[in-house]
Structure 1
Amino acid sequence: MKLTVTKQGTGNGVVTAVPGTITWSGKTGTALFDKDTSVTLTASPAARAWTGCDLNIGLTNCMITMSVDKGVTVEFGTKVKHDFNGDGKADILWRNETTGDVAIWLMDGTKMNGGDFVARGVSADWDIKEIGDFNGDGKSDVLWQNTAGDVYIWLIEGTVIKTGGFAVRGMPDEWQVIALGDFNGDGNDDIMWRNTNSGDIYVWFVNGTERNGGGYVVKSMKSEWTVKATADFNGDGKSDVLWQNTTTGDVAMWLMDGLSMSTGNYVETAVPDNWQIKGIDDFNGDGEADILWQNTTIGDAVIWFMNGLSIANGGYVRKGVPQNWQIKVVGDYNGDGKADILWQDTTTGDIYVYLMDGMNISGEGFVTLGLSNDWQPK
């Protein structure tokens, strides 16, 4: 009896079968089973769709009964950032800077669809450094670092800490976590470090809470070149590096293949200081990350749609946004495969979301009003 599973789409994902083992050749997996064996196929991460199932079980599982040879197909989309429950929609992680409490809001468009405290009273010497998926389950996790240099990872499921552990203890002060990204394409986010004394850039490959190899990306990088983001700008399933020169305003990109730069170039030169990068995500659903800018003087917000090293297109999202409204986070809050924008009014505490379709606002609305400024999204 033969089961053939075909993977389609531009995103990243893993398919597992119980019982049995799937042997992969490129995008096609094949497995042998006895007659009438029931097989459950599980796809991760989020943003997937099965066809050819006898029974669909939730978002992730496809059940088939092997009475004859069968073929099923799973199509993967791009992994959703800040998705803590694996429903294909970005959520919001909050920390109260006075009490240390940490909470997650599970989002559905502009509405909160559940949420809870994750932890209370986390000590002020612990700082949330990054959010990413370290175990490849399609659910975002949280990376912490304290003033002693200890790095700790929470593996999250919904609003619950499933497990956690130290990635390292006593990291020297000059080594700073600057970004996360999946540099080797294994579905797990990796940790990028920078040595503030030498300029060396180093990546740790991560599996759950444990380091799983790594290496230098570059040594002795000049201090004026800062890593603004890591994201997949060319759609190959591996993170690339976006740089900006703090002296000249030049923006450059390295397209990465693991720890090596496959190619790189300037994206733009001499960007004025009042234009700030506010978010990196895929705003038009083409599988390639884009760049959200805001002019901090006049409030204009602009998106560059990227195609590798080149700006393929772009335009204004909105002009003249009042300065009390700040872009806090970007993420796909309605699960349409396109990133949206979360704003916070620093005067009133109101939280507002733009649902985006490219550079167009397809929907918008308040998430909540009058939230205390002690609560900050991460």
Structure 2
Amino acid sequence: MRSLGGVRSTNHYKVMGTVSPASRFAGAVDMNSDGNPDLIWSNDSTGDHSVWFMNGSTNTSSAALLNLGPSWMLATLADFNGDAKPDMVWEQSGSGLRAITFMNGAAYAGQNTVFAAVDTSWHIAAAADIGADGNNDLIWQNSIDGSRVITFMTGAVWSGQYAAFAKVQPSENIVSAAPIQWVPHTVCVAIRGTPSRSKYDPGRAVCIAP
């Protein structure tokens, strides 16, 4: 048994399946409303996206998700229309356009929202209800200077309000955001450094309250 910065590892693991080496892990959200987080995979070179439906750590089946073409990268997933089903948030490379496609499980629900273009140095890193109003908000990071902002949303529409929080190094990336169950209205944002950091360094987290 090994200790990783205070976290003890039993070296136990389970192989759940395989994906193409070109695919990246894009998120864990409940796509079929069974109470289990499902695993999302993205191939940015082809624009292919897929979901593994999970029962705990068991991969029970899979399905292809929406493909908008390789110019559109899947940025994050969260519910933006209040139907308790994760929607897909996209960035188009080179244009600064962002979009949300509304989903009915793994199927496209036939509706979408496209945002006005922003500077291409800004990227959507995660989504979470930071405003504690029942709406998922978007967390952005600037790849040039490490600036980070939250745009507060009302459904899929920007409310007109935003907040900046502490910069990180441009080499550090926001990888996820999740509420802290035992601290009301608080979301922790996980930050990971470059591969040059120690492989036993899990990164760090910044907690945000409205």
- TM (norm. structure 1) is 0.45
Quick one: which of 1, 13, 17 aligns to 1:168? 17
Quick one: which of 114, 118, 124 aligns to 1:277? 124
Quick one: which of 53, 56, 81 aligns to 1:208? 56
Q: Say if 2:156 is the partner of 1:265.
A: no
Match of 2:28 in 1: 180
Quick one: which of 277, 286, 304 aligns to 2:151? 304
**Aligned partner letter, 2:54:** V
Counterpart-to-counterpart distance in 1, 2:3 and 2:102? 35
Retained in 2: the 8 A contact 1:290–1:303?
Answer: yes
Counterpart-to-counterpart distance in 2, 1:257 and 1:352? 32
**Aligned partner letter, 2:208:** L
Shift of 1:188: 0.9
Counterpart-to-counterpart distance in 1, 2:191 and 2:26? 23
Shift of 1:260: 1.5
Retained in 2: the 8 A contact 1:292–1:302?
Answer: yes
List per-residue Cα deviations over 1:265-304 (Å, max 9, x = no partner). 20x2322122232332110122332111233445543211
Question: Looking at CA atoms only, which structure, 1 or 2, has the larger radius of gyration?
Answer: 1
Retained in 1: the 8 A contact 2:77–2:88?
Answer: yes
Retained in 2: the 8 A contact 1:255–1:308?
Answer: no
SS in 1 for 2:112: strand
SS in 2 for 1:166: coil
Retained in 2: the 8 A contact 1:224–1:246?
Answer: yes
Match of 1:289 in 2: 136
Shift of 1:236: 2.4
Quick one: which of 37, 40, 53 aligns to 1:192? 40
Counterpart-to-counterpart distance in 1, 2:20 and 2:205? 39
SS in 2 for 1:218: coil
Shift of 1:222: 1.4
**Aligned partner letter, 2:104:** D
SS in 1 for 2:209: strand
SS in 1 for 2:103: strand
SS in 2 for 1:248: coil
Q: How many residues align?
A: 200
Structure 1 unmatched runs, 5+: 1-100, 105-114, 121-160, 358-378
Match of 1:116 in 2: 7
Counterpart-to-counterpart distance in 1, 2:3 and 2:154? 37
Please list, as runs of the form range in 1=range in 2, the aligned pairs for 1:1-378 lying within 5 A after superposition: 103=4, 116-119=7-10, 164-169=13-18, 171-195=19-43, 198-219=46-67, 221-262=68-109, 263-266=111-114, 268-318=115-165, 321=167, 323=169, 326=172, 328=174, 330-333=177-180, 335-341=183-189, 353-357=206-210
Measured at CA, do residues 354 and 327 of structure 1 come closer, stay the same or move farther in structure 2, by a change above 3 Å?
farther
Structure 2 unmatched runs, 5+: none
**Aligned partner letter, 2:91:** Q
List per-residue Cα deviations over 1:16-36 (Å, max 9, x = no partner). xxxxxxxxxxxxxxxxxxxxx
Retained in 2: the 8 A contact 1:264–1:309?
Answer: no
